[in-house]
Structures are given as structure tokens and as C-alpha cells.
Amino acid sequence: MREYSLAAIPGDGIGPEVIAAGLQVLAASAAVDGGFRLAVERFDWNSENFLKRGHYIPEGGLERLRSFDAIFFGAVGSLEVADHVSLWGLRLPIAQGFDQYANVRPARLLPGIKSPLANGADIDWVIIRENSEGEYAGHGGRAHRGLPIEVGTETAVFTRAGVQRIHRFAFELARKRPRRQLTLVTKSNAQRFGMVMWDEIFFEVARDYPDVRTDRELVDAVTTRMVLKPKSLDVVVATNLHADILSDLAAALSGSLGIGATANLNPERQFPSMFEPIHGSAFDITGKGIANPIATFWTASMMLEHLGEAAAARRLMQAIEATTAAGVHTPDLGGNATTRDVTDAVCGALRS
């Protein structure tokens, strides 16, 4: 029996609700498969405990986490803690500390789900987000605090090695998809240093992938293309900030933020990778039992794939699709199903 260790960090808001649902579905996947089991350890690193303890991650916490095969993450963010404190206190130290530089965000209109777009069925994208530097490198500062001459800087940091490895990752992924198409997204007309370097390195790396069709788009222009010509896109590679924004749009166009899944990968596998829904804490629905768990199930499927359980990953994705096709939808998708209804339906589909 193959065994994988899984660190579950439910976090804040609806995080605990969707992670509990996700663990249930993963347990059902393992039971149906029969060839592997998951040893799950839960970590109570969240904002409530931050307020009590003064830290999200305790001393030695990252070293402990390092020994796991994968991390299953819910959400972080609380009304009582400033967003930049919670994000930099929990999610970013893991993603950056474990060099999870490739953030993979698939978007596809699942059966039975309505897109706000007339041609939403054409959505079948993977957005690759550079996840270790760029606009979120944490480079900047403030001076003259509180004075009229106060200044704040936020410097994006792009390294040749960082840009090269994300482009290479994107080309490798694009090569495995039927359409083999990769769109480079930057803003190199207005930002003429780091962004121009991104473009240059992209076309250098492209020489090694003659089988992948490439094109380029400015980040503002690609939003219109996503809405008006969804079929014209396949794989998209963009910076940390740009891809963050594009993937929220992609999730909304595929029906709801409650669908969008993401994998934070350390492709070299020197560190564990982290799997999470793209949505946040969603305070407006926390505790109501109506959070859409599909994003979490989808990321669980990506996690199984990453762990080497491709058949189980495929089976889980089919169970998700059978559930959405059957109209078992939470309110964000216009239905009246609860988190539990969707979870039970997916577990049922797995077993049938």
C-alpha cells in the first residue's frame, strides 16, 4: 500500500469547511482506489490563533511541514487581522519558503455550470503564475511615516533564473496539451525593464520548444480576449500579480470563484507542494454550510496527480463533473445545495 503524508492547514473563514469536505472526498478516493492511503495531520495555524499566540507559523513549523508529501491549504484572512499581515504570516512564507514557484490554475467550464459568457463552453485554459518573486517579492519600504512627505515603494523583482524557470515550466505544460499553445502576458509597453526582460527570455526559451505555438498579449488586452474570444487561449504565462488577477477573472467566467483551484508547485520536488482553492475566507458565507467545495475537490485531484496517483485524480475529476452535471450546485452557482450535499454527491459518484 502506497502511503502519502498530508499536512492540512484549514486556516480561516470557509477554509475549515472546504478542507473538511476535501479530506472526506480524498478519503473516499483512497478507499475506492485501494492502492494508497493518506496520513493526514492537521495544523491549527490560523488568524484566531495568531491573535492568541502572536504568530501564524510557530518556530520550527516550516521544518516540520517540510517532511510532508503535500500541503492541503484552505484560506487565510480575517476581519481582525490586516490582510497583508495574514498573507505574509502564513501563505507566502510557505509558498516562497518552499520555492513553490509554479502556480498552476486551470479554468474550464464544468458540465452543468452556467458561465456569464455566451461562449463560456470555449473556456479551457491553464494560467501559469510566477509564484516566487515579481510584484510579490516583498521588496519595498516606507519612510517619513505619517508626515506629508511620506513615501512608500513596492519594487517588483524579476531575476533571469526566476523568469527562465517559469517559462520553461509553462512550455513543458503547454507541450502536453492538445492545442500546444502558449500566450505570454506582460505589460512591456509601459514597464520597460523587468517586463521587457520577461518577453526576451520567453522567446529565448521558445527556441527549445518549436512544437509549441506562441503569441503575446498585454495584460489589459488579454482580459478582453478572455471575455470575447475564450477559444483563442490555451496556456497563459504571466507574473505573480497579473496572473493572480487573471485567474480570478477566469474563475468567475467559469461560473464562480468557488470553482477555481490552484497548485503551488515546487517542480523539482525539493520541498512539498501546496494545493488550495483560489478563493479567500469568504466571511459573508462562513459558518452557513453553503461554501462551494468544488475548488477544493479540484485541487485535491491536482494533488493526487502530483503524488503520482493519476488514475485516482482522473476518477475524482469525473466524480466532480458528474456532480456538477447532475445540478448539485451551491448558491454561488444558482443552486440550493449545501457543502455537505455536494460532498456526499461526489463521494457517491466516486463509489458508483
Residues with catalytic function = 136, 187, 220, 244, 248
Site string for ligand ATP, 50-79 (x = CB under 6 A): ---------------------------x--
Binding of ligand ATP at residue 20 (CB under 6 A)?
A: no
SS3 label, residue 192: coil
Contact between 281 and 46 under an 8 Å Cβ cutoff? The reply is no
Which distant-in-sequence residues (6+ apart) come within 8 Å of 109 by Cβ?
115, 120, 121, 123, 124, 254, 255
Applying CB under 6 A, the span of 55-63, 129-137, 263-271, 280-288 interacting with ligand ATP comes to 280-288
DSSP classification of residue 172? H
Q: Looking up cell 509554479, which residue turns up?
A: 102
Kindly identify the residues of this chain, within the stretch 69-128, that bind ligand ATP according to CB under 6 A. Answer: 77
Contact between 22 and ligand ATP per CB under 6 A = no
Which amino acid is it at 207?
Answer: R
Q: Where are the alpha helices (DSSP H) in 37-136?
A: 47-53, 61-66, 83-86, 92-97
Stretch that binds ligand ATP, among 48-56, 101-109, 168-176, 285-293 (CB under 6 A): 285-293
Q: Would you give the binding string for ligand ATP spanning residues 246-265, x where CB under 6 A is met? A: -----------xx-------
Question: Taking CB positions, which residue lies at the least distance from ligand ATP?
Answer: 280
Helix (H, G, I), strand (E, B) or coil at 255: coil
292 binds ligand ATP (CB under 6 A): yes
Kindly state whether residue 280 participates in binding ligand ATP, applying the rule CB under 6 A.
Answer: yes
Q: What is the rounded distance in angstroms from the CA atom of residue 32 to the CA atom of residue 88?
A: 38
Q: Other CB atoms closer than 10 Å to residue 132's CB: what's the count? A: 23
332 binds ligand ATP (CB under 6 A): yes
Binding site for ligand ATP (CB under 6 A): 14, 77, 257-258, 279-282, 284-285, 291-292, 295, 330, 332
